[in-house]
Structure 1
Amino acid sequence: MKKQIIRCPYCGSTAILRDASYVYGGKSRGGKVYVCSHYPECNSYVGVHPGTTIPKGTLANRELRKKRIRAHNTFDQIWKQGILSRRDAYRWIADKFSLNEQQAHIGRFSDYMCDQLIIESQKVLHNNISLPLAG
């Protein structure tokens, strides 16, 4: 299989596969990251699925990484609270935003898509608040 070239969406440079400690230093839990070759001036990177060289999404700068974490934290409550199974929750993302299965990953989402997911996830959570039964 031909090695894929990953480009930084911010500066256009190629990304380099590095040990996670390159970015996280002593806080690293092992693993690998794709890092923009202009890091740290261009602060974009993405984690890699354990034991592979497959990126978990697209390179993101600090602001987008924070937004993706917030989107995940909000969305994950849908399956953690048992409103939907994890698998069905991801299917819901795909259906809600007319995405295919590959596109329905928060690690690929833009700032705008993260905002939309947070809004829609909050609606689902609000509409599924379990109220105590009247006694």
Structure 2
Amino acid sequence: MIDPRANSPERIVPPAPLPVVSRRRLLKIKDAFPIPTSCNCCNGDRVRLVENSEIYNGKSFGDWPYAYLCMDCFAYVGLHPGTDLPLGTLANKPLRNARNSSKGVFNRIWREGHMTRDGAYAWLTRQLGIQASECHFGLFDIERCHRARTVCEQFMATTGRRKA
């Protein structure tokens, strides 16, 4: 569902430290994830919107250098550019590592031309037995990351040798 603020006549007041929340950018996000108020990793309630320099030892990264950060366990998640909407759920270091490694194998499937990107997501949805709305690496827990990595590695070890 598109964020209702995208079509609201009222002025969008960006939460600090954001300079703006863009209606145009909100319209592009079809399945927005909820803004975190508590941490899914430690159940802490000290989640803050920060400049990502607070995460990366004083250095800012990206064109939209903002994130939600759990002040208790240091789990974090970046934002869709121009918005205050998270790219997924908060992730601590083990979960970030699991997401990165599983998505890396998955990306090879479509980048090497075995399937289109949309086709690869549809295939992965079927392999994992989940709804399309749940098939987003930014939502996966460690167990689902491992399952996704396994099915993607199996694909690449067999079908992936030749283009499907």
TM-score by length of 1: 0.85
Corresponding residue for residue 119 of structure 1: 150
Gaps of 5+ in 1: none
Task: Provide the C-alpha distance between the structure 2 equivalents of 1:14 and 1:94, rounded to a whole number of angstroms.
Answer: 33
> After superposition, where does 1:15-26 map in structure 2 within 5 Å?
15-24=47-56, 25-26=58-59
Deviations 1:45-72 (A, max 9, x none): 1111111111111111111101100011
After TM superposition, give the deviation of residue 11 of structure 1 in Å: 3.4
- Name which of structure 1's ranges 24-33 and 95-104 shifts more when overlaid on structure 2: 24-33
**Which position in structure 2 is the counterpart of 1:96?**
127
1:12 alignment partner in structure 2: 44
The offset of 1:4, in angstroms, is 4.5
Q: Indicate the residue corresponding to 1:67 in structure 2.
A: 98
Percent pairwise identity:
29
Kept in 1: contact 2:68–2:76 (CA 8 A): yes
Q: Any gaps of 5 or more consecutive residues in structure 2?
A: 6-33
**Matched position secondary structure for 1:16:** strand
CA distance in 2, matches of 1:76, 1:8: 28
> CA–CA distance in 2 between the matches of 1:101 and 1:6?
25
CA–CA distance in structure 2, aligned partners of residues 5 and 130 of structure 1: 42
Verify the 8 A CA contact 1:19 1:30 in the aligned structure 2.
no
TM-score using structure 2 length? 0.71
Greater shift in the superposed pair: 113-122 or 4-13: 4-13
Q: Which digits, 9 at most, give the CA deviation of each residue in 1:72-125, with x for residues without a partner?
A: 111100001111100111111211122222210011101110000110000111
Whole-angstrom CA distance in 1 between matches of 2:52 and 2:63: 6
**Structure 1 residue 28 and structure 2 residue 53: aligned?**
no
> How much does 1:37 deviate?
3.1
**Residue 102 of structure 2 aligns to a residue in which SS?**
helix
1:120/1:43 CA distance change after superposition, 3 Å: same
How many residue pairs get aligned? The number is 128
Residue in 2 that maps onto 1:46: 77
| Cα offset, 1:130, TM superposition | 3.2
Give the counterpart letter for 1:53 in structure 2: D
